[in-house]
Amino acid sequence: MHNIKVDINFAVKSSLKSGLDSIEIDEYKDKANIGYQKLLKLVDKGDIGFPKLVDQALDNITAYAKKKLGKFNDLVVVGIGGSSLGLEAIVNALLPHGYNSLTFSERGGFPRIWIADNVDPYKIQWIMKNCQPSDTLVCVISKSGGTVETVSNFNILYKWLSEEVEKPKDHIIVITDPEKGLLRKWSEENEIDTFFVPKNVGGRFSVFSPVGLVPASLLGLEIDKMIEGAKDFIATNLQQALVLSAIYIFYIEKGYKINVLMPYTSRLSKFADWYCQLWAESLGKRYDKDGKEIFFGTTPLKSVGAIDQHSLLQLFKEGPDDKVFTFIEVLNHDADKKIVSVMDEEVDYLKGKSLGELLNYELYATELALKNANRPSVKIVTDIIDEYRLGYLMMLFMYVVPIVGLYFNINPFDQPGVEEGKNYAYGLLGLRGFEDYIKKFEQGYLKLDEYII
Ligand SMILES: O=P(O)(O)OC[C@H]1O[C@H](O)[C@H](O)[C@@H](O)[C@@H]1O
């Protein structure tokens, strides 16, 4: 059983001038319900598949991970966006800080983890310098199978493997679409171990597909617990998604422009990055579903407490009143440490308190300071962080975001806005079929020297 609560006190009228009154709470829950009913229809029709992932059998993934256990010192995951952010969130939340510096036996025979997302030569170079091809498993993930960053990084790593090991195919796993794309074709032709992302599961909703589960299982994480958490959320607590969506819808209608996710734990820092993609690509849309131009969306912003109290909080409290805050509180921090006072009597007030307590007191203080400035916030409270809770939280947000989008009559499941830039890049790189984009690029990318100082 979980112990995750959604606390909306500081977004309602009894505490906050701009908050929802009790009539508005019901009214906006009804609005959220409209979005939810639309989501249910899409799921029932089979158009959208992420909620159904909680019913998948996991044996093939766990058996595969077991087969590989102890055989590799390093796991390099190649992927970007929805093909890497979910895993990053999992690794950041559930593996020890500095995991890669533990010894093989301290890691229980599980590999170190490297995520090759960006095509930054610096990053890929250091991954290759740190790993030995003979001891490395490369897991390449791409739903479309052709994302240029992923294909480029993978080609470099494939060559690196081929030059050193006899059977590079034994060092590769592919995770991609079951039918389409370059990666699928290649993995089939070369008989590479391949897992599939269901066709009706888009990248940013794919963390509970092999995209997140295969690497997580290879790292020894309990993926069944993650799925159990996600499943329990759907089975028992959809109300929480409706309430959160109601609050977000209310403030979007009021013209609030920024949605801040601020966990008070570094372990959820990458979770906030994952959330930013989920929110931005799902909710930033030029057209509604009827083709009307609406330029819809609010901007997600990652912030980590208490770190950003020393960076962003000044703006949050005294800058424009255009942000809705979602805090995440962890009641019991793992390996919590008592603070000692050895420096001076001045720090005696800290003696006996723990770091976790300090973090949480700082959260309460920030909540109140923002409330006093009439800034709306909600808080998700979890007792601990583990596979189960992470699964629960991810599924909660994977419901909230489409509910908000569908209520506003936009399509939260596509991302047409990223295409134009990709096409120019393909044109510049000389990809066949994209010749027109070279011309368009040359016509549009005009810069005058006088404005380059
Ligand atoms: O998984 P892939 O097909 O390689 O896609 C990786 C990413 O590519 C694009 O930029 C999309 O906007 C993202 O939604 C997607 O997650």
Region of residue 8 (phi > 0: left; psi between -120 and 50: alpha; otherwise: beta): alpha
Strand positions, DSSP E, 357-441: 377-382
Take residue 283 and report the two structure tokens written for it. 């909710």
- Flag whether pLDDT at 249 surpasses 70: yes
ipTM over cut 0.95:
yes
d(CA 340, CA 345) in angstroms, rounded, equals: 11
pTM of the shown model: 0.97
pLDDT, one tens digit per residue, over 364-409 is: 999 999 999 999 999 999 999 999 999 999 999 999 999 999 999 9
Q: Given 3.40.50.10490, 3.40.50.720, 3.40.50.300, 3.30.1490.20, which CATH number is that of 52-221?
A: 3.40.50.10490
Q: Which fold has domain 4-42+227-407?
A: Rossmann fold (3.40.50)
**Residues 177/184, Cβ–Cβ less than 8 Å:** yes
Instruction: Give the mean model confidence (pLDDT) for residues 194-222.
Output: 98
Give the model's confidence band at 94: pLDDT under 50 very low, under 70 low, under 90 confident, else very high.
very high
Q: Comparing C-alpha atoms, which of 154, 144, 143 is closest to residue 190?
A: 154
Q: Comparing C-alpha atoms, which of 58, 388, 56, 412 is closest to residue 202?
A: 412
d(CA 118, CA 153) in angstroms, rounded, equals: 8
**Cα–ligand 1 centroid distance for 12 (angstroms):** 37
d(CA 232, CA 3) in angstroms, rounded, equals: 11
> Relative to the CA of 422, which ligand 1 atom is closest?
10
Question: Residue ranges per domain, the chain?
Answer: 4-42+227-407, 52-221
Decide whether any atom of ligand 1 lies within 6 Å of the 74 Cβ: no
> Relative to the CA of 197, which ligand 1 atom is closest?
1
Active site residue 422: yes
Decide whether any atom of ligand 1 lies within 6 Å of the 377 Cβ: no
**Cα–ligand 1 centroid distance for 173 (angstroms):** 18
Q: Do domains 4-42+227-407 and 52-221 have the same CATH topology?
A: yes
Give bridge partners of residue 260 from the DSSP assignment: 301, 325
**Residues 215/77, Cβ–Cβ less than 8 Å:** yes
Mean pLDDT for all residues in the chain:
96
Instruction: Give the mean model confidence (pLDDT) for residues 162-170.
Output: 96
